[in-house]
A and B are shown apart, each in its own frame.
Chain A
Amino acid sequence: MNISYNGQALTLSQPHSLLEVIEAQGAKAPYAVALNGQFVPRSGLAEQRLQEGDSIELLSPIQGG
């Protein structure tokens, strides 16, 4: 299965939940996640299954003006 993780192509050997992929990528709290441009609350990460072509965005605090 081919997906996109923060703009980078990623190939998964088997189906995974969103939480499994994020943890496998070494995500560090605090962060928030969007799947295909839609916000996925923290409570929904474990039950969200991924599909071919999905795009994950994992965002963390940064300087802002």
Chain B
Amino acid sequence: MQTDMPFTVYGEQFDSRLLIGSALYPSPEVMQQSLLASQAQIVTVSLRRQNSVSAGDDFWQLIKDTGLRVLPNTAGCHSVKEVVTLAQMCREVFATDWIKLELIGDEYNLQPDPIALLEATEILIKQGFKVLPYCTDDLVVCQRLADLGCEVLMPWGAPIGTGKGLLNPYNLQTIRERLPNHTLIVDAGLGLPSHAVQALELGYDAVLLNSAIAGAGCPVTMASAFHHAVVAGRAAYVAQAMPEKEVAAPSTPTMGMPFWHQN
């Protein structure tokens, strides 16, 4: 029996390899039930103006009631200055050094800005943050983020909310092979549990998703499906898949076959 390595985020160990978002659910009750059904231990949250319609104590109380570890994000930021300020505000409100660093460079596909991301990461790490950067699947960007001190990297599977799955498995696999000791999480773009299985089979340590569950016909059932997907994908990675072959090979022994080569 192959033994597994624990899933760690900046030194903290978790049993679940599924990180889940808290947005877009049809109701607070469905959100809470989905979080529980996912068996995730880390949930993403954000900050907005208090006078906005959707902000409120009720949401925060629901999250606290789940007992999940909170990962604040900087969603919606477009500049280094914005993300640094928002990260500082998140640290105070949520009482955590963790920050899911989102810095958008293009409105069309919400692609992360790799250059500004590096600049912001350097500033935040100097300020004591434990940065979880949402980045593209560019190997060199990931290497530079690692060089700056990121222990966790979160390349995208596909643009946020598209549900397209892993658009470039080769890129993701290359990042895995070149950064074997970093915690790698596929963040964004997943739509199906099979996409999560594929990410874990590639050796990714975890996946982070939101829309695939919140936007499903039955979010609670889909949350459970994703839980099973990450368990299956990780087990498959640990078990080491058989090598692919170009020609057929019988699985049933041919020795003792009756009527063998009889005409």
A residues near B (Cβ < 8 Å) are 6-8, 27-28, 30-34, 37-39, 41-42, 57-65
* Interface hit among B48-56, B114-122, B177-185, B250-258: B48-56
Q: Binding site of B, secondary structure by majority: helix, strand, loop or mixed?
A: mixed
- A-B residue pairs in contact (CB < 8 Å), sample of 15: A28-B57, A31-B93, A32-B93, A34-B89, A39-B88, A59-B86, A59-B93, A60-B50, A61-B60, A61-B93, A62-B55, A63-B25, A64-B73, A64-B75, A65-B211
* Interface hit among B39-47, B150-158, B226-234: B39-47
B72 in the interface (beta carbon within 8 A): yes
Number of interface residues of B (CB under 8 A): 39
- One digit per residue, 1 when the CB lies within 8 angstroms of any chain A CB and 0 when it does not, for chain B 42-83 equals 001111111110111101100100000000110100000110
- CA distance in complex: A34, B93 (Å): 12
Is the pair A63, B93 in contact by a Cβ cutoff of 8 Å? no
Number of A-B contacts (CB under 8 A): 96
Kindly provide the distance from the CB of A65 to the nearest chain B CB, expressed in whole angstroms: 3
Tell which of B57, B59, B90 touches A63, judged by Cβ atoms closer than 8 Å. Answer: B59
Find the residue from B50, B55, B56 having the highest chain A CB count within 10 A. Answer: B50
B168 in the interface (beta carbon within 8 A): no
Is the pair B85, A28 in contact by a Cβ cutoff of 8 Å? no
